[in-house]
Amino acid sequence: MKPNELSLRYGMNPHQVPASVAPVAGEGLPFRVLNGRVGYINLLDALKGWQICREMAEATGLPAACVLKHTNPVGAAVGLPLSREAQIVFGVQAPEISDVAAAYVRARACDPVASYGDFTAVSETVDVTTARLIKQVVSDGIVAPAYEPEALRLLREKKGGNYLIMEMDPEFEPPSLESADLFGIRLTQHRNSARINSTLLERAVTRRVTIDEEVMRDLIIATIVVKYCQSNAVCIARDGQTLGIGVGQQSRIQCTRIACDKAEQWWLRWHPYVQTLKFRAALKQYQRANALEGLLRWSEATDRERERALTAFEGSPVPLTSIQCEDWMNQLSNLSLSSDGFIPFRDNIDRAVRAGVGYVLQPGGSARDDEVIAACNEYGIWMAFSGLRLFYH
């Protein structure tokens, strides 16, 4: 190995060996591996997750967390307090929840099924409360700027002592140019250093022109997330956290549908009836998440998924009816949606409004901008053109 070069377990797949990582400028890597052995995809997740968390923390002044799978964020959030109801819905078991831990819980709760085997990124020092919560779930690794000694000890016990723990240099800034080698060809570009802040929200194009600070925060969070999602990308957020992220589809409406479906699934977990359900003892967190999803997606579930859902609860739970779901969905509102590229057709707005979206941020520039604006005005929702495309490939 060359100086400052780190050997990886393998590349994207086990047969892709050897694999390694080295700094571009040759001045040393901006991270340390404190435990475990880093893999190629682990590193992609860690570097992307760190950028998301750092930008969210800088933009909001709050601790931030992000969980990723296969280099796409599953959920992201800032450290706003968790109500008692939220703790129950998110399945939190902790006597005290720090701001850092709250950010982590919110991020992972965006999609608890997809979070299985995630990679976690945190913008601040990982404390004991956060470490204890991470220890309860199936996770592949974590990156953060620092760890409390006891938190580090707890995390080192995960995965039989092989849990990947990375410490990122918070002062590191990458070179302005970045490159990728593909099929014997090197592509070079200026890295996407665009700042996501309130100035992107100034060009409202609808009759509704004002928004409050909480909505501004949520739109900024959603836009930072889509900046690092595989395009096409649509993100829905509320209360300082993402609720649904649709990524990597060939059409934007597919991403919008995925993001809306996930946001609606998130909201169903808050239904009063769902909160009365009691899981059987000894079920692990991922088993609870899978069982609840099966119950909430009853009409789409297979017989095996339905059996697994029913046997996970005490008593005999009855799935929510379509009318109950519709009535509950009608109470979901004030969601913020950000799109990494222009919205080409009003069908995206039609679907978003059904999921409770009231605020939209997009670059603008479609040949049908007028139709999309008219749709927003028809529904009485706010939309602004940022003028900033954020494709990521």
Q: Name the residues annotated as catalytic.
A: 69-70, 232, 393
Q: Which of 129-165 are b and which e, b meaning 16 or more Cβ less than 10 Å from the residue's Cβ?
A: bbbbbbeebebbbbbbbebeeebbebbbebeeeebbb
Q: Residue 208 gets which letter from DSSP?
A: -
How far is Cα 277 from Cα 273, in angstroms, rounded to an integer?
7
How far is Cα 235 from Cα 256, in angstroms, rounded to an integer?
8
Q: How far out from the chain centre does Cα 2 lie?
A: 35
How far is Cα 251 from Cα 188, in angstroms, rounded to an integer?
27
Question: Please, which residues have CB within 8 angstroms of residue 381's CB and are 6 or more apart in sequence?
Answer: 206, 208, 349, 353, 357, 358, 359, 360
Residue 343 and residue 360 in contact, taking contact as beta carbons nearer than 8 Å: yes
